[in-house]
Amino acid sequence: MSTVSTEVSDGPRGRVGSDRTGGGFVGAFTSEWTKLWTVRTPYVCLLAGLVVTAVFTFYYGSIARINDKPIQPVGNASVSSVVLTQFALVILAMTTVTSEYSTNSVRTSLLWVPVRPRVQLAKALLCALVGFVTAVVWAVLGIALAWGPFRGHAEFELSKVAYQTVAMGVYSALICVLTVGVSFALRTAAGAVAMIFFVVSALPGMLVGLGGPVLLAVNAYMPQTVGGYFMLGDGEAPFPDAVSVLILLVWAVAAHVAGLFVLRRRDA
């Protein structure tokens, strides 16, 4: 018995399909980039975060002056604003996943990129990049706006400002990656936002409120708690900076493992 092999040509010169360019991970990332900026949600989230940063940091500096608090790094104002602005990035990252499930366009995405981990990784990398750059911009803006109302109750040390700015970017990027993983696992906007809010904000507050050595020890490993120490960089963190980043990475990877597990079992 003889077999006949066929090749799909591409163009008048008969180039085979395997020679096409633009696919792979680069193609998946480019596709996600295009999809992200063709809808309104990212722009609304970025604008909302910008406004919150401006208002919060100005208020932070004013309160520090009024209450005559000790001199502190001016970047503390921007770091403190992350407890609110991070959720603008959470919604942005969540939308890259849940919007496709709500409209069933995820079927098309998975048809174009049949390698499931590649889809997830492309979304995560895109959101991490946007989260990092956005947080750095917000940090710089917050420092500029807070410096005036501080009026002598803050100090500007370039190395400290640079550290806190980059740390805000790293933390925000990892929160975005965590959100993408949770969104793939839960697939609905309400479920993903509720879970992220509970893990990142509500649970640490409950653990601190209940108190006790065990609960406080657990709280030390929560993403927002670890991230807060890491971003402040004031030497009071229970872990070195590298360990703090590692803990945040573990949270992000765990979320992606859960998301990939669900994606492989029930992709669309």
| pLDDT tens sequence across 106-156 | 888 888 888 889 999 999 999 999 999 999 999 999 999 999 999 989 999
Give CA–CA dist 9/55, Å, rounded: 59
21 falls in which pLDDT band (50, 70, 90)? very low
Answer for the pair 184, 96: CB distance below 8 angstroms, yes or no.
no
Q: What is the pLDDT of residue 11?
A: 42
Q: Can you say whether the dihedral through the CA atoms of 72, 78, 81, 87 is positive or negative?
A: negative
16 falls in which pLDDT band (50, 70, 90)? very low
Query: Residue 255 above 50 pLDDT?
Result: yes
Strands (E), the chain: 9-10, 15-16, 72-73, 154-155
pTM of the model: 0.89
Give CA–CA dist 64/151, Å, rounded: 9
Query: Residue 256 above 90 pLDDT?
Result: yes
For the residues 30-55, what does the mean pLDDT come to? Answer: 95
Answer for the pair 55, 49: CB distance below 8 angstroms, yes or no.
no
In the chain, the N- to C-terminal Cα span, in Å, equals 40
Mean pLDDT of the chain: 90
31 Cβ contact list (under 8 Å, min separation 6): 109, 112, 113, 122
Judged on CB neighbours under 10 Å (0-12, 13-18, 19+), 215 is: middle
Going from the C-alpha of 2 to that of each of 7, 26, 141, the distances in angstroms are 17, 39, 70
Give CA–CA dist 249/28, Å, rounded: 23
Query: Residue 197 above 50 pLDDT?
Result: yes
Q: What is the pLDDT of residue 122?
A: 96
Q: What is the pLDDT of residue 12?
A: 41
Query: Residue 210 above 70 pLDDT?
Result: yes
Query: Residue 8 above 50 pLDDT?
Result: no
Query: Residue 23 above 80 pLDDT?
Result: no
Q: What is the pLDDT of residue 114?
A: 86
Closest CA to 32 of 123, 134, 125: 123
Q: What is the pLDDT of residue 129?
A: 98
φ, ψ of residue 72 in degrees (nearest 5) = -140, 165
Give CA–CA dist 217/156, Å, rounded: 33
Q: What is the pLDDT of residue 220?
A: 95
Give CA–CA dist 186/170, Å, rounded: 25
Q: How many CA atoms lie within 13 A of 29 on its CB side?
A: 12
For the residues 47-65, what does the mean pLDDT come to? Answer: 96
Q: Which tokens go with 17?
A: 């399909």
| DSSP label at residue 8 | -
pLDDT tens digits, one per residue of 84-110: 999 999 999 999 999 999 998 988 888
What percent of the chain clears pLDDT 90, i.e. is strictly above it? 79
pLDDT tens digits, one per residue of 147-187: 999 998 999 999 999 999 999 999 999 999 999 999 999 99
Question: Which range, of 13-17, 41-45, 79-83, averages the lowest pLDDT?
Answer: 13-17
Q: What is the pLDDT of residue 267?
A: 65
Give CA–CA dist 126/93, Å, rounded: 9
